[in-house]
Amino acid sequence: MTFNRIFHNLTLWVLLAIVAGALLGHFEPATAVKMEFLGKRFIDVVKLFINPIIFLTITLGISTMGDLKKVGRIGGKALIYFEVVTTLALLIGVAVAALVRPGDGVSTEKLDTGKVGEFTKRAGDFSWGHFLADNLTLQVLIVAIIMGIVLSKYAGRKPIITLLKTASKYVFRGLHLVMLLAPIGAFGGMAFTIGKYGIATLLPLGKLMVTVYLTMAVFIFLILGSILRYCRIGMWSFLKYIKAELLIVLGTSSSEAGLPGLMEKLVGMGCAQPVVGLVVPTGYSFNLDGTTIYLSLATLFLAQVFKVELSVGQIITMMGILMVTSKGAAGVAGSGFVVLASTLTAMKVIPVEGLALLLGVDRFMSEARSITNFIGNGVATIFLAHNEGALDHARAEEALGRPMRRFTFGKSSRTPTSGEYLGTVAEADALEAAAEQETSRP
């Protein structure tokens, strides 16, 4: 690898930043905790791009699709897929917890329940009305669908579509510049996590941590991997293709930090733009595979800690509650604890105070949740695109065999922004140059 390639390799820099953050957190925890603002500010800036990208992607996709029945069909299939796969995730979490029993032998003598009250209060305040009112992403999704339908019926839409395509081009260009700061965000997020909580906090609940990570891995490679194989795509190839985004999610503990990049990568590998625009943002609220696994494991873990033997009926009740409450997790700050608190409160058989046991290790498990949620939404999009005949397998094969060049300087870094990118990177550059010449003519 030449020096130039090393300099422009975002994945390498993010990985180095994560290692540096972990080292700082371990050896200088007081300083590392102060780095939290770097991770938070990076996520805040990336979030600024999420809603414009969703709006532009969906509006352009629907307005140029022509067949509005197809839009409704994709949306309906997506919701069915989300429910089936998250139910599988729930069943796997319950089965592993019952088999491994990570809560056996965990002491409750040093419980610090001081912070639990705020989560139980927020759990009581949660409602679906608030979830829909506070979830800006879902609101933008709905507005974009309406706008796309209106434009598709409007005879004079051409100037508006041209304007939206230009806006899309500049939004993605701005995103690429922001993503150059990803190593700084990943450094701040990892430094804060290790500095504040420390590796030592993992030891008492090490069995639970290992169980969570192994269960997520089994789900990714067994369930999601099988879904990808059905689509003639290998899981390892897909993970390699999105490795930069995965490292950003790992470093920041936020799957939202990788959302814009995931959408762009999915379009780049041949998924139709309308499918990407509809499935990914909806999945961030309704397809939380990692969160579902964690919630089922954590609930049974606490039952085992307090020696509460749940009956089959109670476990089925817990699963029913989680199937509903987990869908609102993305719209609530501290979502894992809020949903877990609401579940324990509804069941009335496991002490809510047990949440205090998880406070110290939750941040470390959030990486596993975020990465699993992230991969799950990518796989959902690929599956639905394949199912709709909206996945270009030739492009997917080329992209996964040789990932698109991104986050580099110069013309060769061109990536798809409008969903119309076909062929190789070189062919796309040639088409773009020809289009620019055409528009520059008097």
What does the pLDDT look like over 211-241, one tens digit per residue? Answer: 999 999 999 999 999 999 999 999 999 999 9
Closest CA to 229 of 62, 103, 59, 383: 383
- For helices 273-286 and 36-65, the axis angle rounded to 10 degrees is 130
Q: Furthest-apart CA pair in the chain: how many Å?
A: 80
Beta strands in 203-280 (DSSP E): none
One-letter identity of residue 207:
K
Average pLDDT, the chain: 79
Highest mean predicted confidence (pLDDT) among 5-19, 190-204, 264-278, 373-387: 373-387
CB-based burial label for 374 (10 Å; 0-12, 13-18, 19+) = buried
Quote the CA–CA distance of 425 and 436 in Å, as a whole number: 17
Q: What are phi and psi of 255, to 5 degrees?
A: -70, -20
CB 358 within 8 A of CB 106: no
Encoding tokens for residue 347?
């069941």
Asked which of 60-69, 123-132, 274-283 is least confident by mean pLDDT, the reply is: 123-132
Quote the CA–CA distance of 369 and 254 in Å, as a whole number: 9
Q: What percentage of the chain carries pLDDT values higher than 90?
A: 23
Chain segment 40-97, per-residue pLDDT in tens: 898 888 888 888 888 888 888 788 766 677 778 888 899 899 999 999 999 999 999 9
Quote the CA–CA distance of 23 and 252 in Å, as a whole number: 16
Quote the CA–CA distance of 242 and 250 in Å, as a whole number: 12
Give the domain ranges of the chain. Answer: 3-436
Q: How many CA atoms lie within 13 A of 176 on its CB side?
A: 20
Q: What percentage of the chain carries pLDDT values higher than 70?
A: 77
Quote the CA–CA distance of 286 and 328 in Å, as a whole number: 7
Residue 289 has pLDDT above 80, yes or no: yes
CB 60 within 8 A of CB 164: yes
- For helices 289-305 and 312-325, the axis angle rounded to 10 degrees is 140
Closest CA to 357 of 281, 305, 416: 305
CB 53 within 8 A of CB 419: no
Quote the CA–CA distance of 179 and 184 in Å, as a whole number: 10
Quote the CA–CA distance of 227 and 377 in Å, as a whole number: 12
CATH of 3-436, one of 1.10.3860.10, 1.10.10.10, 3.30.930.10, 3.30.43.10: 1.10.3860.10
Residue 433 has pLDDT above 70, yes or no: no
Residue 440 has pLDDT above 50, yes or no: no
Quote the CA–CA distance of 401 and 268 in Å, as a whole number: 13
The three-state secondary structure class of 271 is strand
Reduced 3-state DSSP string for 128-193: HHHHHHHCHHHHHHHHHHHHHHHHHHCCCCHHHHHHHHHHHHHHHHHHHHHHCCHHHHHHHHHHHH
Task: List C-alpha distances in Å: 24 to 28, 100, 153.
Answer: 5, 34, 57
Quote the CA–CA distance of 9 and 183 in Å, as a whole number: 11
Asked which of 161-170, 267-276, 363-372 is least confident by mean pLDDT, the reply is: 363-372
CB burial string 101-130: b at 16+ within 10 A, e below: ebbeebeeeebeeeebeebbebbeebeeee
CB 147 within 8 A of CB 59: yes
Q: How many CA atoms lie within 13 A of 10 on its CB side?
A: 27
Encoding tokens for residue 246?
């995965």
pLDDT band at 6 (very low <50, low <70, confident <90, very high): low
Encoding tokens for residue 165?
């395509």
